[in-house]
Every structure is written in C-alpha cells, then in structure tokens.
C-alpha cells in the first residue's frame, strides 16, 4: 500500500509533466509546418513558381532578418532576392511581400512609409 501511494505521488506527476512537455515540443514543428504551408500557398497565389519547398521556405524566412540589418529596406532586400536567386525584380518584390506578410507582418506598415491616411 505504501509503495502504491508513493508511486502515485512521485511517478504520476513526473509522467504527466513529461507528457505535457512532449506535446508542447511536438506542437512547435506542427505550427512551423502550417506557417510554411501558408507561405508556399501564398506564393502560388501570387504566381510565383518554386520547385524546392524547403529551400523556398528558408529563403522566405531569411527576408525578415535582412530587413533588420543596418540599411535594410524593402528595395535592398528585393534586390538581394533578385540577384541571388535569379528572379526578376518584380518577382522578387512579390516574393518579399509574401515573405514579410507571412513571417514578420508587423513590418508591413513601417515599410510603407508616409502613405496617405484614409
């Protein structure tokens, strides 16, 4: 009886915490996959073709850090995307917009600059 009580007081809480941590750890990759799938879907909707989903997703995830670099701007990032990936400037601009909207949407408003307010 003492063993059963001790087991219930020590093993079950540890087991519960372990299961909770495992569920939490597994939910992060699922969310990442959902964001990546949304990004790839948005690229398709924007008329941007890709052949390697993993590489395309990594390229999209690289946009936000480039915006935070000194001198980082939409035009600078778009130029890097066009030059480094064989895209036209227009296509790179669309790609950059989709990447920003997916991975760092809070940056959209500051990038628009002094736009007229409605």
Angstrom distance (rounded) from CA 34 to CA 2: 48
Mean pLDDT of the 84-94 span: 92
Domain encompassing residue 97? 32-112
Task: Evaluate whether residue 46 is within a structural domain.
Answer: yes
Mean pLDDT of the 68-88 span: 91
Angstrom distance (rounded) from CA 118 to CA 116: 7
What's the domain count of the chain? 1
Statement: residue 17 has pLDDT above 60: no
Task: Evaluate whether residue 44 is within a structural domain.
Answer: yes
Task: Evaluate whether residue 84 is within a structural domain.
Answer: yes
State what percent of residues in the chain have pLDDT above 70. 66
Task: Evaluate whether residue 68 is within a structural domain.
Answer: yes
Model-wide pTM > 0.75: no
pLDDT at 1: 54
State what percent of residues in the chain have pLDDT above 90. 47
pLDDT band of 114, cuts 50, 70, 90: low
Long-range contact set of residues 65-70: C-beta below 8 Å, sequence gap at least 24: 67/100, 67/104, 67/107, 67/111
């Amino acid at each position: 009886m003492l063993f059963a009580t001790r087991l219930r007081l020590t093993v079950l809480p540890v087991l519960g915490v372990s299961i909770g941590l495992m569920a939490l750890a597994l939910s992060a990759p699922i969310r990442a996959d959902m964001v990546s799938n949304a990004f790839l879907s948005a690229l398709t909707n924007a008329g941007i073709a890709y052949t390697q989903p993993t590489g395309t997703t990594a390229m999209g995830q690289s946009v936000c850090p480039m915006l935070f670099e000194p001198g980082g701007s939409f035009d600078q990032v778009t130029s890097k995307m066009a030059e480094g990936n064989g895209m036209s400037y227009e296509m790179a601009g669309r790609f950059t917009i989709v990447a920003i909207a997916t991975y760092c949407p809070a940056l959209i408003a500051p990038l628009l600059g002094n736009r007229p307010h409605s």
